[in-house]
Structure 1
């Protein structure tokens, strides 16, 4: 059974005329007759009772007519829905982003995307970097923005920029007025850092260990915003990705460049390797890649 056969049958059933049905479905009368015949053969019985003067539906044809109408209506609706999605007149896209990017850089990209495609709904999950990777890998979102997850067979990483770590100090701290702060000076103060298994925490510990330095934090927390507030209150010092500079300043902390050693990490878009993106998700990736 084909769509062409269904449309032919519905046209004949509606008009009770082969001539009018031919005009509706743009088929010649022989082609229309063949379509009806093939449909009847596929269903296993006669749908139309034809004489030289009359054309009527058989009882089976009467029973099938509303079903055929519903099938065509559903099909037309599906075609319209897909057309709107491919044309970006309708649809939705879900993205996961680590909070440092979600609260600072992502809103600008979303604004650009929204101006281009105002009918697309968006769902934004601001979760820790590790959860971004898990949500993409599990198909809960189509794309994520996080640090480079490293070599993975199932994910694709498209870099946006290199982010460096910066020092965060209370305004009254003796080092708050200097341009560049060294790690040795920071580690002499009370230190605040994210809890394990945060990728930020693990990266900092690995780099320091390679430099022969050890980290003994006095405070550990789950949120970068909490770190900023605690530093601003004079409870200690910290390091955060430079993505958070604006947030740290808003919370009342002072940010300085960090060296000896410098710590950098790539930030980019993460997608699943073997799963094609929706049209909306492709456009969002394009906006992100051209914004940074």
Structure 2
């Protein structure tokens, strides 16, 4: 039983006329008769009782009629739904992003996306960098944003920009008057950072260990916003990716260039190499790349 046969059966059942059904379907009566015959043969019995003067449904035809109506309605609804998704009139896409990106640059990109595709639902998973990669690998999301992962054949990474770590100090700190800081100057103060296994924390520890030894932490938190507020209140200093500069300023802290050593790493988009993106995910990827190119301060 196929779609063409069901449409032919429904047309004849509704009109009780092969001539009228043929006109509706733009089929000749012989072609229509062959289509109905093929349906009856596939089901194993007669659906229409035909004479030279009339056409009537057999009991089996009566039983098939409401089912045929429902099947064709479901098909048409599914066809329309897919058409809307392919043309980005409807759909859903899931993305995972590390908190430093999700809370700073992602909202602006999502605003651009929403303006263009108002009926696409976007699910954002705000998770640590390591979880971003795992969610992409296990197909829980189509797109991920985070620090560049180790080389892999299964995951494609497209860099947005090379981010660097900057110092975060209280606005009324003497350090806030300087144009740049060294790590030695920064680490002479109480240090505040994210808890493990945050990628930010691990990168900081790895970056300073060779020249300054183990990172001594006075306060730690799971949220960058909490780190920024503690710095703003004068509890200590911190270091965060440059993409968090605006967020730190909004929290009342100040960001200053940080050198010796310069800790930097690419931030970009992750997706599975063997997975074709949905139309919605492809559109979101295009917007993210466009917004990344339009952020000169971070390039």
Matching of residue 187 in structure 1 with residue 187 in structure 2: yes
Matching of residue 229 in structure 1 with residue 216 in structure 2: no
Residue 283 of structure 1 aligns to a residue in which SS? helix
Residue 163 of structure 2 aligns to a residue in which SS? strand
Separation in structure 1 between the aligned mates of residue 101 and residue 205 of structure 2, nearest angstrom: 22
Q: CA deviation at 1:207?
A: 1.7
User: Normalising by the residue count of structure 2, what TM-score does the alignment of the two structures yield?
Assistant: 0.94
Aligned residue in 1 for 2:295 = none
Alpha carbons of 1:212 and 1:233: their partners in 2 closer, same or farther (altered >3 Å)?
Answer: closer
Q: CA deviation at 1:95?
A: 1.5
Indicate conservation of the 8 Å contact 2:195/2:221, yes or no.
Answer: yes
Residue 190 of structure 2 aligns to a residue in which SS? coil
Aligned residue in 1 for 2:296 = none
Q: CA deviation at 1:134?
A: 2.2
Aligned residue in 2 for 1:48 = 48
Separation in structure 2 between the aligned mates of residue 238 and residue 176 of structure 1, nearest angstrom: 12
Q: CA deviation at 1:51?
A: 0.9
Aligned residue in 2 for 1:239 = 239
Map 1:118-157 → 2, pairs under 5 A? 118-157=118-157
Q: Aligned residue pairs: how many?
A: 292
Residue 247 of structure 2 aligns to a residue in which SS? helix
Residue 175 of structure 1 aligns to a residue in which SS? helix
Separation in structure 2 between the aligned mates of residue 282 and residue 227 of structure 1, nearest angstrom: 34
Map 1:253-264 → 2, pairs under 5 A? 253-264=253-264
Separation in structure 1 between the aligned mates of residue 241 and residue 132 of structure 2, nearest angstrom: 17
CA RMSD of aligned residues (A): 1.2
Q: CA deviation at 1:11?
A: 0.4
Aligned residue in 1 for 2:163 = 163
| Residue segments in structure 2 that go unaligned for 5+ positions in a row | 293-299
Residue 190 of structure 1 aligns to a residue in which SS? coil
The worse-fitting range, judged by mean Cα deviation, of 250-259 and 24-33 is 24-33
Q: CA deviation at 1:137?
A: 2.1
Deviation per CA, 1:13-64, whole angstroms, max 9, x where unpaired? 1100001111111211111111101111110111111111111111111111
Q: CA deviation at 1:140?
A: 2.1
Indicate conservation of the 8 Å contact 2:184/2:212, yes or no.
Answer: no
Aligned residue in 2 for 1:84 = 84
Q: CA deviation at 1:151?
A: 1.5
Aligned residue in 1 for 2:5 = 5
User: Normalising by the residue count of structure 1, what TM-score does the alignment of the two structures yield?
Assistant: 0.96
Aligned residue in 2 for 1:201 = 201
Aligned residue in 2 for 1:110 = 110
Deviation per CA, 1:90-116, whole angstroms, max 9, x where unpaired? 111121212221222111111111111
| Residue segments in structure 1 that go unaligned for 5+ positions in a row | none
Residue 12 of structure 2 aligns to a residue in which SS? helix
Q: CA deviation at 1:212?
A: 5.0
Deviation per CA, 1:212-249, whole angstroms, max 9, x where unpaired? 53311111211111111111111111100011101111
Separation in structure 2 between the aligned mates of residue 178 and residue 211 of structure 1, nearest angstrom: 22
Separation in structure 2 between the aligned mates of residue 220 and residue 10 of structure 1, nearest angstrom: 69
Aligned residue in 2 for 1:280 = 280
